[in-house]
Amino acid sequence: MDKQNTSTHDSDGSDEARNRHIKIYINGELVHRDEAKVSVYDSGFMLGDGMWEGMRLYHGKWGFFEEHMDRLFNSCKAVSLDIGIAREDILDALTQTAAANDMTHDVHCRLMVTRGVKSKPFQHPALSQSGATIVIIMEHSKPAEILQTKGINLATVPQIRGLPMSQDAKFNSHSKLNCVIACLQAEQAGADEGLMLDPHGFVNTTNACNFFIVRKGEVWTSTGDYCMNGVTRQKVIDLCRANDIPVFEKNYSLYEAYGADEAFLTGTFGAQTPVYQIDGKRIGNHYGAGPVTQHLQKLYKELIASLY
């Protein structure tokens, strides 16, 4: 079992000093991170009642901005959360925040929208009367080398992805307790991240990223039910289709995952992160990305480069 744990969101550490004095956007104001505070009555703090997006800035261009806004606005509409501003205003706020921090590249952003400040410390959404709280945290951020050279060690965890009629996994909500519990279980099993099954026992996703395997040149991922509708997941599927790489969204079990030639995770932060081990079983005979994963990484980099 691996002793030194890694996380899919590890950055290379060179940015820590630069991020110590960043400015945070809170409802139109830009303040030093030490002064960036929201009310203890905020719906996001009190109940996890809010939605967020993780986005990356590449040479001054936000990666897949429209896709992120489609997901954010769809999620907020589904829970009757009025963002209060249009997507162009959000782009404006992102631009202001990037400029205030002198950031153009290797930047990760967490855009958060909550139902706002409550008049009393209770659950009813009608108590949130202030209008949405909008926060943008933008950090210098470069994924750590080890994520590519070695990869990630997964453990299958007891915590599963739920049915959409409990809390739909497509909500990128402030409440991530389901994922946090899965992550804790993985850590306690000595792994970096938790591999989560769906309610039927099929392999679904990890606690923070979407999950793919490669078998005999074919790329497989879950049906898309029960997991985050990841922007990167969809881009990888589209790239496969555009480049004649067989890709399937289907049910499969741990039997096929353990026997895969390659496995990788997708997410905005790490793009495609190789997986080298699942439940103590080595995947393929390589560390880092296997040949199909490397091919997809190259195609994804070209796609990103076409944005700026």
User: Contact residues for ligand PLP (CB under 6 A)?
Assistant: 54, 172, 179, 205, 208-210, 228, 230-233, 266-268
Q: Which is closer to ligand PLP, CB of 168 or CB of 218?
A: 168
Q: Which is closer to ligand PLP, CB of 118 or CB of 161?
A: 161
Answer positive or negative: Cα dihedral of 89, 94, 95, 100. positive
Q: Which is closer to ligand PLP, CB of 104 or CB of 234?
A: 234
Rounded to an integer, what distance in angstroms lies between the CA atom of residue 265 and that of residue 9?
A: 12
What is the smallest separation between the CB atom of 186 and ligand PLP, expressed in angstroms? Answer: 13
| Identity of residue 121 | P
Residue indicated by tokens 């202030």: 130
- Strands 152-156 and 193-197 come out as parallel
What is the smallest separation between the CB atom of 216 and ligand PLP, expressed in angstroms? Answer: 26
What is the smallest separation between the CB atom of 171 and ligand PLP, expressed in angstroms? Answer: 10
What is the smallest separation between the CB atom of 75 and ligand PLP, expressed in angstroms? Answer: 11
Q: Which is closer to ligand PLP, CB of 131 or CB of 162?
A: 162
DSSP string, 245-288: --EEE----HHHHHT-SEEEEEETTTEEEEEEEETTEEPTT-SS
- Strands 281-282 and 271-278 come out as antiparallel
What is the smallest separation between the CB atom of 96 and ligand PLP, expressed in angstroms? Answer: 23
Q: Which is closer to ligand PLP, CB of 94 or CB of 231?
A: 231
